[in-house]
Amino acid sequence: MSSDSGINSSSLATLTCPDFLFPAPPNGRELISTALDVKGCGLIKEGYDRGVELLLDTYDYVRSAAIHVVSEWGQILAASDDELEDKDPFDAVFVKICSMVRDMSIEVRLEAFLELRKIKVSENVLLHTLSKNALAKVKRPEAIGPRSHEFYVVSNVTGAFVHGLEDEYYEVRRSACSSLGALTKLSSTFALDVLKLLMDMPNDDSLAVRLQSLQTMYQMITHEHLKLQQLHIHGFLVTFMDTVVYTLVDTSYLIRRTARSILQVMKMVVEKIFKSSIEGLLTNLERYPEDEADIFSVLFSIGKSHGTFADNFVMGVSQDIEPSHEGKLKFDSGRVAAILVLAISASFSHRPVSNIRRKLYSYAISNLWRICRSLYMDQDTLLPYLLTTDSLRGHELSFPMLTGGNSNEKINQVSLLQQISNETPADQLGDNPLDQKHVASDQTYQHKDISMHEEANNNVKLILKTIAETWPLIRSGCIVEAQMTIRSWKGELETISMDLNASGGLLAWASQYVRVVRLLAKVWEQLLPSREFHDNGTQMLYLLLEKLDVNLGRIMNSFSGFSKEEEVHILELTLLTSFLRLSEVEIGDHTTTLKRLREIMSRLELLCLEEFIKFADFARELKEFLDKGDFAVLEASYIPCSYKSLPGYFSLKEVLFDGTLKHIKAELESVGNDSENPLPFISGLPVGIAFQITVYNVPGDKRMWLKMAREDVTQYTFLDFNQMGTCGEERKVTLSVPFYRTPKQFLFH
pLDDT of residue 442: 41
Report the 10 Å Cβ neighbour count for 88.
19
Residue 97 has pLDDT above 70, yes or no: yes
Q: Could you tell me which residues come within 8 angstroms of residue 119 by beta carbon, excluding any fewer than 6 positions away? A: 71, 75, 90, 93, 94, 97
Identify which of 279, 455, 286, 245 has the alpha carbon closest to the alpha carbon of residue 369: 455
pLDDT of residue 294: 87
Would you place residue 82 in the very low, low, confident or very high pLDDT band (cuts 50, 70, 90)?
A: very low
CA dist 333 and 314 (Å) reads 16
pLDDT tens digits, residue range 125-139?
888 888 866 444 444
Average pLDDT score over residue span 140-158? 49
Q: Where are the beta strands (DSSP E) in 453-599?
A: 559-560
Judged by average pLDDT, the poorest of 10-19, 228-237, 252-261, 701-710 is 10-19
Average pLDDT score over residue span 326-352? 69
CA dist 139 and 153 (Å) reads 9
The string of DSSP letters for 338-351 reads HHHHHHHHHHTTTP
- H-only helix segments in 411-504: 413-421, 433-446, 449-469, 471-475, 479-500
Residue 678 has pLDDT above 70, yes or no: yes
Average pLDDT score over residue span 353-382? 61
> Burial, 49: exposed, middle or buried (Cβ in 10 Å; 0-12, 13-18, 19+)?
middle
pLDDT tens digits, residue range 152-187?
435 678 888 998 999 999 889 999 998 998 898 888
Angle between helices 564-583 and 505-527 (to 10 degrees): 30
| 640 Rama class: left (phi>0) / alpha (psi -120 to 50) / beta | beta
What values do phi and psi take at 342, rounded to 5? -65, -40
Rg of the chain over Cα atoms, rounded to whole angstroms, equals 34
pLDDT tens digits, residue range 553-599?
888 888 888 888 888 999 999 999 988 887 765 555 677 888 888 89
Angle at 711 between CA 707 and CA 716, to 5 degrees: 20
pLDDT tens digits, residue range 612-642?
888 888 888 888 888 875 454 444 445 555 5
Would you place residue 439 in the very low, low, confident or very high pLDDT band (cuts 50, 70, 90)?
A: very low
CA dist 613 and 565 (Å) reads 8
Q: Could you tell me which residues come within 8 angstroms of residue 184 by beta carbon, excluding any fewer than 6 positions away? A: 190, 191, 194, 220, 225, 226
Average pLDDT score over residue span 530-545? 69
Judged by average pLDDT, the poorest of 82-91, 343-352, 699-708 is 82-91
DSSP 85: T
Q: What percent of the chain has pLDDT over 90?
A: 6
Judged by average pLDDT, the poorest of 37-41, 217-221, 552-556, 730-734 is 37-41
Question: Which H or E element spans position 687?
Answer: strand 687-696
Note whether 691 and 670 are within 8 A (CB). Answer: yes
- Predicted model pTM: 0.52
pLDDT of residue 388: 56
pLDDT of residue 573: 92
CA dist 197 and 705 (Å) reads 66
Would you place residue 356 in the very low, low, confident or very high pLDDT band (cuts 50, 70, 90)?
A: low
The string of DSSP letters for 403-424 reads TTS-GGG---HHHHHHHHHTT-
pLDDT tens digits, residue range 648-677?
888 888 877 765 788 888 888 888 777 677
Would you place residue 150 in the very low, low, confident or very high pLDDT band (cuts 50, 70, 90)?
A: very low
Domain boundaries defined on the chain? 1-80, 452-649, 664-748
Indicate the SS3 state at residue 724. Answer: helix
Identify which of 532, 456, 576, 528 has the alpha carbon closest to the alpha carbon of residue 34: 532
pLDDT of residue 489: 77
